[in-house]
């Protein structure tokens, strides 16, 4: 795509921390594929659309470039990067390593408040999927479910670390979520994880997490064939 056709903001930007807010908005649109891989971004069009000067736009694009989500060609153009499978696999390795320990800790300690919150999020996911048919909300609740796990294990900063490296794997998951039955599989996996946590069964809880987190990369070739223009 050669031009940024629609940058109408979905939220109003506050005057404070404009660069960070703009980064968050643009990153969210890249992750959701609203700004797809290969799309050219115009600094002036972004500034006009969000009612800001070009300085915070430049800063936001630099943050996105540091994360590998855009590439800035000086005096030329800025482009949303294609999905990098090597980086996606590295991030998956990091997250799986951490989350296996997170679930071990939660299964051994069984904190009541964390289990209650996780169960609530699973119930909300079921409503989002089966009643509202809202995959965007379903995906948001998915992230909140796993964030609750990290926070409950006392390692919230590690969730922030994982998220800062997740741009490529998250776009891959977005494509995978469009496949029929994928959202239902995720929901079942979350239920299985929580059942094993409540049972205090560490090996089964960890195995459920392992299957859950490796599902997308296990089908990556099928995803790439269906969406080759994103890679």
So what's the pLDDT on residue 174? 95
DSSP string, 130-189: HTS--HHHHHHHHHHHHHHHHHHTT-HHHHHHHHHT-HHHHHHHHHHHTSTTHHHHHHHH
Q: Which residue has the higher pLDDT, 14 or 167?
A: 167
Alpha-carbon distance values, 228 to 188, 215, 217, 225, 231 (Å): 29, 19, 15, 5, 6
Which of 116, 143, 125 shows the shortest CA–CA distance to 198?
116
Q: Which residue has the higher pLDDT, 11 or 152?
A: 152
- Where does the pLDDT of residue 20 fall: very low under 50, low under 70, confident under 90, or very high at 90 and above? very high
**Any idea which of 69-78, 85-94, 119-128, 147-156 has the lowest mean pLDDT?**
69-78
* Residues ≥6 apart with Cβ < 8 Å to 71: 65, 78, 79, 81
**pLDDT by residue (tens digit) across 128-146?**
999 999 999 999 999 999 9
Mean pLDDT of the residues in the chain = 92
The H or E element that residue 90 is part of is: helix 85-109
Express as a percent the part of the chain with pLDDT over 90.
90
Q: Using N-to-C axis directions, what is the helix angle for 54-66 and 18-31, rounded to 10°?
A: 50
So what's the pLDDT on residue 77? 87
Strands 40-41 and 70-73: unpaired
Separation of alpha carbons 85 and 101, rounded Å: 25
Within 10 Å of residue 38's Cβ, how many Cβ atoms?
A: 14
pLDDT of 15 above 80: no
**pLDDT by residue (tens digit) across 180-200?**
999 999 999 999 999 999 999
Separation of alpha carbons 122 and 202, rounded Å: 20
Average pLDDT value for residue range 83-110: 97
Q: Is the distance from CB of 53 to CB of 47 less than 8 angstroms?
A: yes
Question: 43 phi and psi, to 5 degrees?
Answer: -60, -40
Average pLDDT value for residue range 152-169: 96
**β partners of residue 73:** 77
So what's the pLDDT on residue 17? 86
């Amino acid at each position: 795509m050669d031009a940024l056709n629609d940058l109408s903001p979905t939220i109003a930007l506050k005057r404070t921390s404009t660069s960070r807010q703009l980064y968050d908005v643009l990153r969210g649109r890249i992750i959701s594929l609203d700004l797809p891989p290969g799309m050219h971004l115009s600094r002036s069009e972004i500034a006009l659309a969000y009612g800001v000067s070009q300085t915070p736009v430049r800063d936001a694009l630099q943050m996105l470039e540091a994360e590998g989500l855009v590439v800035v060609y000086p005096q030329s153009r800025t482009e949303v990067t294609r999905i990098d499978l090597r980086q996606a696999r590295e991030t998956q390795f990091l997250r799986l390593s951490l989350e296996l320990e997170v679930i071990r800790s939660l299964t051994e300690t069984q904190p009541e408040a964390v289990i209650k919150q996780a169960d609530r999020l699973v119930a909300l996911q079921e409503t989002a999927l089966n009643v509202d048919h809202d995959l965007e909300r379903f995906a948001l609740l998915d992230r909140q479910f796993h964030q609750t796990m990290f926070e409950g294990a006392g390692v919230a900063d590690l969730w922030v670390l994982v998220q800062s490296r997740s741009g490529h794997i998250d776009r891959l998951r977005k494509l995978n979520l469009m496949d029929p039955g994928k959202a239902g599989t995720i929901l079942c996996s979350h239920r299985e994880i929580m059942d094993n946590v409540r049972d205090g069964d560490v090996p089964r809880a960890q195995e459920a997490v392992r299957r859950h987190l490796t599902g997308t990369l296990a089908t990556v070739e099928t995803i790439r064939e269906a969406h080759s223009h994103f890679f």
